[in-house]
Amino acid sequence: MFHLKKFLTYYGPYIKEIDPAINLGVYENKYPLHSRMMHYFTPPVQSTLSIIFGRTITGKMETIRLAREFFPSISVFDEILDTIDKHYEIPSLCSESGLTGLEDRLYHTLQSVKDAMAQHITIIPEQHKNDIRLWKKDIADIPVAPQSVIFDSSRFCRLMKGRLIFYANVPDHFDNIWLIQNELKRIGSMFYKTPFKYSITVLHFVSFYSIL
């Protein structure tokens, strides 16, 4: 279920404002391509292949190479590898129209790999597999142990702590405000609201059975 949830998180057209270029200096002009290809397209493809192969595919480059072999009729994967090989220096892709065309190709590819992945999914009812809008509802209806929710919510505590310490002690030239604000948006839910909510559920469950 982890990979299916991950796929659904990323599935959809690219949101241009979602991944601003920060602290990139001379490489900032290359970031729009990297963001679209590697930050928001490759992760759902990685989850697709993990579901199809029944094992977690590790590494973004491995994901794209394996996807090229598994989906030989889809040219986007060759395009990504060629773009990376050329260090994102593809003038035709850097214009607004070039980026828009790339976004359309990536989204169309996600739609195609989604159909292939659907054949390997067992927790979605067969009658819903053609309508991805129902998948999130189907997943939400599946009961999950509270302990798993707590673990999934809090397992990034050490990572987040390290990032916040770094952001609070950056050199003068490093732009840290947006990064701190972005982390603070999710800390309240991840570290407090969700763990305490489900901890109470676990305690009630234990207390009930201890009485019996």
211 confidence band (pLDDT: 50, 70, 90):
very low
Name the residue among 200, 207, 194, 201 with its Cα closest to residue 149: 194
Distance CA 38, CA 166 (A): 24
Name the residue among 12, 70, 93, 115 with its Cα closest to residue 80: 93
Measured CA to CA in angstroms, residue 11 lies from 17, 48, 173, 177, 211 at distances of 16, 11, 35, 28, 46
At residue 114, the pLDDT reads 94
The yes-or-no verdict on residue 85 having pLDDT over 90 is yes
Domain limits, the chain = 2-140, 146-211
The secondary structure of 137-148 as a DSSP string is HHHHTS---HHH
**64, 70 contact by CB (below 8 A):** no
Within 10 angstroms of residue 57's Cβ, the number of other Cβ atoms is 19
Per residue in 12-65, pLDDT (tens digit) is 999 888 888 888 888 899 999 999 999 999 999 999 999 999 999 999 999 999
Binning the chain into helix, strand and coil, the percentages to the nearest 5 are 70, 0, 30
At residue 200, the pLDDT reads 62
Per residue in 116-170, pLDDT (tens digit) is 999 999 899 899 988 888 998 888 888 877 777 777 777 777 677 888 888 889 8
Residue listed under structure tokens 């234990």: 206
The yes-or-no verdict on residue 212 having pLDDT over 50 is no
Angle at CA of residue 29, ends 24 and 33, nearest 5°: 100
Residue listed under structure tokens 């489900």: 198
Distance CA 208, CA 57 (A): 42
What's the pTM? 0.80
